[in-house]
Structure formats: C-alpha cells, structure tokens
Amino acid sequence: MLTNVEHIGIAVRDIAASNELFAKLLNIQPYKSEAVESEGVTTSFFRVNQTKIELLEATNPDSPIARFLEKKGEGIHHVAFEVENIEAEMERLKAEGFTLLNEVPKRGADNKLVCFLHPKATNGVLIELCQEIKE
C-alpha cells in the first residue's frame, strides 16, 4: 500500500545555495543533511507538513543526479511514496509489469529502505518507494 508522498526529490547543482533558496521559500531550515555514498549524492531535507522536499547534489560525475543535470538541468527528479511493506509492494508492482531498478530494497537517506521504478514504465516520472527502517 502506498500511503503518502514521502518526498519530492529536486536535483540541484549547488546544494548550499539551494538550501538558502528553499529556506527562504518555505520559511524553515532543513532538518537534515545527509550524504548517500552508494547513490553519489548529498541531500538535504525540508519538512513541509506531511511531506518533504529532498534536495540532491551529485558528489561524483557517475551519479544519477549528475547525469540528470547534464541531460535535463535542475528540477524535479523523482516522487517518493511511503509504503508499509516495501518487499510486498515491489513484488506487486513487478507482477503489474513495472520495471524495478533494484531487485532488493537498498538503504536510502533519512533512515529508509528504498526501491526505484524505471520512469519509462511510469509516464516519464521516476518513482521511489520508501519504507521507514524501524530500529
């Protein structure tokens, strides 16, 4: 079950400058900055009521964010949905014909397990599934 839009991922070239811009826009400070080495990104998170804005800057040229910026420039990169059981959702979506970009849930930012669906199978929108990691 997809319960809510957990975050909207925005690709940016300069996360320090974008932190200032979004802090002005939202009138709040980011609650977290976190690097995710496996994804070649550094992120910062702003909480906006039930959802979040995730800013993403590439930390190496092979990062998905670097390739996205090269091709499309700054902008909305993905929409992340919160799920209660990521494995069950991955199985359901695979059976429905969606293309999973990772067959096993992987560690994301903000204490989550994540999986991505190929945008070609979702009308050109990169979709991320997120499940909170309960300690």
Ligand X SMILES: CC[C@H](C(=O)O)C(=O)SCCNC(=O)CCNC(=O)[C@H](O)C(C)(C)COP(=O)(O)OP(=O)(O)OC[C@H]1O[C@@H](n2cnc3c(N)ncnc32)[C@H](O)[C@@H]1OP(=O)(O)O
Residues that bind ligand X (CB under 6 A): 9, 36, 39, 41, 43, 54, 56, 64-65, 67-68, 71, 77-78, 80, 101, 108-109, 112, 114, 116, 118-119, 124, 126, 128
**Dist. CA 116–CA 128, nearest whole Å:** 4
DSSP conformation class of 101: S
Instruction: For Co ion, give the closer residue by CB, 80 or 117.
Output: 80
Q: Considering only CA atoms, which of 72, 78, 6 is closest in space to residue 39?
A: 78
Q: Give the integer Cα–Cα distance in Å for 81 and 68.
A: 20
Q: Give the nearest distance from C-beta 117 to Co ion in angstroms.
A: 12
| Lookup: tokens for 43 | 């992120």
3-state SS, residue 29? coil
Q: Does 64 sit near Co ion (CB under 5 A)?
A: no
Three-class DSSP category at 26:
helix
Residue nearest to ligand X (CB): 108
Using CB under 5 A as the binding rule, whether residue 30 contacts Co ion is answered as no
From the list ligand X, Co ion, none, pick the one residue 126 interacts with, judged by a Cβ distance below 5 to 8 Å according to partner type.
ligand X
Q: Structure tokens of 129?
A: 């599934």
Nearer to Co ion, 94 or 106 (CB): 106
Q: Is 80 in the site for Co ion (CB under 5 A)?
A: yes
| Contact residues: Co ion, CB under 5 A | 9, 54, 80, 128
